[in-house]
Amino acid sequence: MTLTLALSKGRILAEAAPLLAAAGIIPAEDPEKTRKLIVGTSHPQIRIIIVRASDVPTYVQYGAADLGIAGKDVLEEHGGEGLYQPIDLAISRCRMMVAVPEGFDYAGAVRRGSRLKVATKYLGTARRHFAAKGVHVDLIKLYGSMELAPLVGLADAIVDLVSSGNTLRANHLVAVESIMEVSARLVVNQAALKLKRRQIQPVLDAFARAVGHA
Ligand code: ATP
Ligand code: MG
């Protein structure tokens, strides 16, 4: 029986590659370069599928992949239904934050109970965050380049991932509130874990060792 591992290209793949190698999983072709969406590995029982970062939880939830690697940002937004999240891989670390243009009095606006326009690709997470704080917001869904929105009057604030802060600085934005710490997690289909425990457990153990030694 083959196990399928869902991965996204870019940051997660780059940072997960050393952990995968330590767990004995080396892709047969460079997933960054190949046009194939299904790639074999050096591990006789594991193949990789290449999907969009935000689609990883969906493939694993429905069992099209047994395992996957996804950021906590994506998992929070998805909801985590049907997923077991055994290992924080401690890679792709950043923070989900509220940011506003330099000079915008965010704390004052919150204190006055102003209604804020907030642009983000994390609608669910943003909605829950502002509701918990009692801040009234109109959320505007974007798919990328959130930093642009306040610069052209689309929004007062954004909710986005921040690591170095360079993109914010380059666009004269400042982070004013942290929503959560983000890192990539290994996720497992809950039913697969029960039905294929004998195959999956050694893979989980290998990842846990790889993270411990990292
Ligand atoms: P796509 O580029 O296909 O639209 P994406 O923008 O979600 O998708 P990436 O930018 O590669 O893809 O981000 C993938 C994951 O990497 C995110 O879900 C998040 O967990 C993590 N990530 C994103 N930005 C950063 C960052 N600045 N620092 C660290 N990790 C990040
Ligand atoms: Mg991207």
Q: Is the pLDDT of residue 213 over 90?
A: no
Q: With bands split at pLDDT 50, 70 and 90, how would you rate the model's confidence at 1? A: confident
CB-neighbour burial class of residue 189 (10 A; exposed 0-12, middle 13-18, buried 19+): buried
* Ligand 2 centroid distance, CA of 184 (Å): 15
Task: Report the amino acid identity of residue 133.
Answer: K
* Cβ–ligand 1 contact at 163 (below 6 Å): yes
Which domains does the chain carry?
3-92+183-213 (3.40.190.10), 94-182 (3.40.190.10)
* Residue 52 CB–ligand 1 contact under 6 Å: yes
Give the pLDDT confidence of 40-77 residue by residue, as tens digits: 999 999 999 999 999 999 999 999 999 999 999 999 99
Average pLDDT over residues 193-200: 97
pLDDT at residue 140, rounded to an integer: 98
Specify the ligand 1 atom closest to the Cα of 121: 7
Give distance in angstroms: CA of 176 to centre of ligand 1: 21
pTM, two decimals, is: 0.96
pLDDT of residue 214: 61
- Residue 114 CA to ligand 1 centre (angstroms): 31
How far is Cα 60 from Cα 198, in angstroms, rounded to an integer? 18
Q: Which two tokens stand for residue 85?
A: 């999240």
Nearest Cα residue to atom 19 of ligand 1: 71
> Residue 60: what pLDDT?
98
